[in-house]
């Protein structure tokens, strides 16, 4: 029993060790065997959201469901953006701004549906999708958006959000074990 107590940590140390250790595992996956299919930045955003939302079963569900809803809304927005001609009467920047504004209003109004009520997680999914689309060359186009491949943000960002949220849960569980 005394040996077990010697291995017990205070909650901050236990959480730091569990997050750090699992961050190493997640990084290995992101830059190693899952490179190009699992994005560490999208995963850690979801991981942080899981803790921000309370590190509970409800937080797990809300982060995943609303995060993926945000990805879906961004995907729809991206498809609409690719249909705006450069010769649009208001110009592309204004039309893009209007398209995004309407999509974000719809995404937020969807919070009237209880399963989609965690707006911050939806926004994180939306933002992660556009980070991928705007920062990764040749991704914001019809071929990628409609493909059934891991280049499509609907798939790859959703996968990263799910995996990242579970890393959050695992780090909370490991931390709890380290404090006992």
Residues 140-171 have pLDDT tens digits of 999 999 999 999 999 999 999 999 999 999 99
Taking the model in full, what pTM does it have?
0.91
Q: Nearest to residue 74, comparing CAs of 125, 27, 5, 137?
A: 125
Domains identified in the chain, total number: 1
Structural domain boundaries enclosing 149: 2-178
- Alpha-carbon distance of 101 to 81, in angstroms, equals 12
**Residue 103's closest CA among 70, 134, 131?**
70
Give the percent of the chain with pLDDT over 70: 96
Looking at residue 131, its pLDDT comes to: 97
Could you tell me where the DSSP H helices lie in the chain? 2-6, 11-31, 40-52, 57-81, 92-109, 119-135, 142-145, 153-178
pLDDT in tens, 93-140: 999 999 999 999 999 999 999 999 999 999 999 999 999 999 999 999
């Amino acid at each position: 029993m005394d040996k077990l107590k010697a291995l017990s940590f205070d909650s901050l140390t236990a959480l730091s060790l569990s997050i750090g250790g699992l961050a190493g595992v997640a990084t290995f996956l992101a830059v190693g065997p899952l490179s190009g299919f699992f994005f560490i930045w999208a995963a850690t955003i979801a991981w942080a959201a899981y803790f921000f939302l309370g590190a509970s079963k409800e937080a797990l569900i809300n982060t995943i469901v609303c995060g993926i809803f945000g990805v879906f809304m961004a995907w729809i927005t991206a498809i609409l953006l690719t249909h705006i001609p450069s010769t649009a009467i208001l110009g592309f920047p204004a039309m893009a701004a209007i398209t995004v504004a309407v999509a974000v209003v719809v995404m937020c109004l969807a919070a009237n549906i209880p399963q989609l009520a965690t707006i911050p997680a939806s926004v994180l999914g939306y933002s992660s999708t556009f980070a991928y689309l705007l920062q990764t060359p040749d991704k914001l186009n019809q071929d990628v958006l409609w493909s059934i491949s891991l280049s499509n943000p609907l798939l790859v960002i959703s996968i990263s959000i799910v995996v990242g949220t579970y890393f959050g849960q695992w780090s909370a569980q490991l931390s709890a074990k380290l404090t006992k």
